[in-house]
């Protein structure tokens, strides 16, 4: 196997990194889980050609390749292990084009989501997908996982914000998928297929992104406190059922709220209280904020409306600190179930039941505007204890029974692989495997992930 490293070095020189620190880092992502051991090498690709040359060597030697961006995934899709090449596109950070007239940007995959949006802002533009990790996650990684975020109820997910993807397939060929025009139905929509494919179909080396103009008008932030999480869930379902369209609507239960307050050294929140943070924007921001406040009060919430952007940002910082707060408590297994919005209260009731059944506390936050929940299981040590797997299993089955899905935005990776066939059914599971083989006949791209 060191032959492979020699081949890589001969072709890619200093781009090939076998330092213990780099190999160790490539074993992990932000899921808190690690691969069984160090990969062969990390290739820090700086160009499309670097990616192509790496894949040609991998293909020739049948060496598995694990593509990585910033390593912020939450499902273990980018963990590189023994016998594998970790291929990082993190160093490919250029913005190749910004077109305000056509509302598009062409970028390399390694640029961070927040860096891209900083560069777009002076043009009056933004790329809407905003995973909580946006300060530390790459655009390529956002595409590979089909990331969501806080604003997607109003502004869409990654799938809605990508026109085209440049993909290097397992044999090193560069494919330009998709188009620059708003519309396009030439052949099969392989761009959509690549979004969320978690490194199984090819290496994303570029993307044509669909941009939005920065929303004119002010942002209003509604912070609502409820005596319990059920009230908050009912209020959020009512907001969507009434046809109000907030820019974001985030729900935090008592346990997640307490954990963040501890991490940020804030005064402890009222025990048992849950919080709903809602933002409205655009020309109707004030009218929508008032409408949200009415619904929330009817549902028993105590409401504060803020016109101050700094206060709004502070409230969102609390929401964005949930993952670090969980990390500070131990190893986490984060669920990512998504249910039809009307089923949110039922899902929270089921989580309470599972907490009681398994004697666990399951701190839970939700992108309530689109029915996407992140229940967190926190435990000590590297391995997921059996009773946590069982509770997670119960939780996933409940979501499915409510018309939901296993993962709304994090992906399958290795952590949710065990449940994939339960949702897809054996027929579709086998079909998806065949589609993967159409891209990667030898199975060298991220084998063992997802399927």
Q: Least distance from C-beta 132 to a second copy, angstroms? A: 14
What contacts 342, CB < 8 A, 6 or more positions away? 237, 240, 241
Q: Please give the sequence-ordered ranges of beta strands (E in DSSP) within 7-62, or none if there are none.
A: 16-17, 41-44
Distance from the Cα of residue 427 to its chain's centroid: 27
Check: CB of residue 291 under 8 Å from CB of residue 242.
Answer: yes
- Of 218 and 314, the one with the shorter C-beta distance to a second copy is 218
In angstroms, give the least distance from the CB of 202 to a second copy.
9
Shorter beta-carbon distance to a second copy: residue 48 or 360: 48
Question: Which DSSP letter does residue 19 get?
Answer: -
Q: Is 428 helix (H, G, I), strand (E, B) or coil?
A: helix
Cβ proximity to a second copy: between 206 and 371 the closer is: 371
* Three-state secondary structure call for residue 68: strand
Instruction: Taking the CA atoms of 386, 392, 394 and 397 in sequence, report the sign of the dihedral they define.
Output: negative
C-beta closer to a second copy: residue 173 or 390: 173
Residue 172 CA to residue 87 CA, distance in Å, equals: 13
The smaller minimum CB distance to a second copy, of residues 64 and 129, is found at: 129
- How do strand 41-44 and strand 16-17 relate by DSSP bridges? antiparallel
Q: Measure Cα distances from 373 to 3, 44, 234 in Å.
A: 46, 34, 14
Q: Which is nearer to a second copy, 189 or 313 (CB)?
A: 189
Least distance in angstroms from the C-beta of 197 to a second copy:
6
Residue partners of 242: CB distance under 8 A and separation at least 6: 291, 295
Q: What are the C-alpha distances in Å from 315 to residues 279, 290, 379, 395, 425?
A: 10, 18, 27, 28, 41
Q: How far is the CB of 357 from a second copy (least distance, A)?
A: 24
Q: Which residues contact 135 (CB under 8 A, 6 or more apart)?
A: 112, 113, 114
CA distances from 20 to 8, 110, 419 (A): 17, 22, 34
Q: Which is nearer to a second copy, 103 or 352 (CB)?
A: 103
Q: Which of 213, 222, 218 is nearest to 244 (CA)?
A: 222
Give whichever of 10 and 182 is closer to a second copy, judged by the CB atom.
182
Least Å distance, CB 234 to a second copy, is 12
Find the shortest distance in angstroms from Cβ 414 to a second copy.
14
Residue 42 vs 347, nearer CB to a second copy: 347
Q: Can you tell me the distance from the alpha carbon of 156 to that of 212, in angstroms, rounded to the nearest whole number? A: 11
- Are 347 and 398 within 8 A, CB to CB? yes
Closest to a second copy by CB, 276 vs 399, is 399
To a second copy, the closest distance from the beta carbon of 99 in angstroms equals 7
Q: How far is the CB of 255 from a second copy (least distance, A)?
A: 23
Beta carbon of residue 287, minimum distance to a second copy (angstroms, whole number): 8
Task: State the minimum distance, in angstroms, from the CB of residue 46 to a second copy.
Answer: 23
- Shortest Cβ 137–a second copy spacing (Å): 15
The alpha carbon of 374 is separated from its chain's Cα centroid by a whole number of angstroms, namely 11
Check: CB of residue 428 under 8 Å from CB of residue 422: no
Residue 151 per-residue DSSP state: S
Nearer to a second copy, 64 or 146 (CB): 146
Q: Using CA atoms, how far apart are residues 246 and 152, in angstroms rounded to an integer?
A: 10
């Amino acid at each position: 196997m060191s032959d492979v490293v020699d081949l890589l070095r001969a072709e890619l020189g200093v781009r090939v990194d076998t330092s213990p620190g780099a190999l160790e880092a490539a074993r992990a992502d932000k899921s808190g889980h690690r691969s069984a051991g160090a990969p062969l090498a990390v290739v820090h690709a700086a160009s499309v050609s670097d990616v192509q040359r790496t894949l040609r060597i991998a293909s020739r030697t049948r060496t598995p390749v694990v593509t990585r961006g910033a390593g912020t995934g939450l499902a273990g899709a980018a963990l590189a292990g023994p016998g594998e090449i970790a291929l990082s596109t993190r160093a490919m950070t250029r913005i190749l084009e910004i077109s305000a007239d056509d509302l598009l940007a062409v970028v390399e995959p390694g640029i961070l989501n927040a860096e891209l949006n900083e560069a777009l802002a002076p043009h009056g533009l933004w790329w809407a997908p905003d995973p909580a990790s946006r300060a530390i996650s790459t655009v390529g990684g956002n595409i590979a996982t089909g990331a969501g975020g806080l604003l997607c109820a109003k502004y869409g997910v990654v799938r809605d914000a990508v026109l085209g993807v440049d993909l290097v397939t397992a044999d090193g060929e560069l494919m330009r998928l998709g188009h620059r025009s708003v519309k396009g139905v030439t052949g099969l929509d392989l761009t959509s297929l690549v979004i969320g494919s978690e490194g199984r179909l090819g290496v994303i080396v570029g993307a044509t992104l669909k941009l939005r103009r920065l929303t004119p008008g002010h942002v209003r932030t509604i912070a609502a406190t409820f005596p319990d999480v059920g009230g908050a869930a009912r209020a959020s379902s009512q907001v969507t059922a009434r046809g109000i369209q907030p820019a974001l609507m985030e729900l935090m239960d008592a346990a997640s709220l307490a954990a963040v307050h501890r991490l940020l050294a804030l005064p402890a929140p009222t025990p048992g209280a849950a919080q709903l943070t809602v933002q409205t924007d655009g020309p109707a921001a004030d009218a929508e904020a008032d409408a949200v406040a009415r619904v929330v009060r009817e549902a028993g919430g105590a409401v504060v409306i803020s016109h101050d952007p700094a206060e709004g940002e502070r409230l969102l910082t609390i929401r964005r600190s949930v993952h670090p707060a969980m990390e500070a408590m131990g190893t986490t297994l984060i669920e990512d179930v998504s249910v039809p919005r009307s089923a949110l209260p039922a899902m929270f009731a089921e989580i309470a039941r599972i907490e009681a059944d398994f004697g666990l506390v399951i701190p839970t936050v939700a992108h309530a505007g689109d029915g996407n929940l992140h229940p967190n299981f926190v435990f000590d040590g590297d391995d997921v204890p059996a009773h946590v797997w069982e509770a997670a299993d119960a939780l996933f089955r409940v979501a499915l029974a409510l018309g939901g899905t296993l993962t709304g935005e994090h992906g399958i990776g290795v952590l949710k692989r065990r449940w994939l066939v339960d949702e897809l059914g054996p027929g579709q599971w086998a079909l998806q495997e065949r589609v993967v083989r159409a891209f990667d006949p030898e199975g060298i791209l991220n084998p063992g992930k997802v399927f």
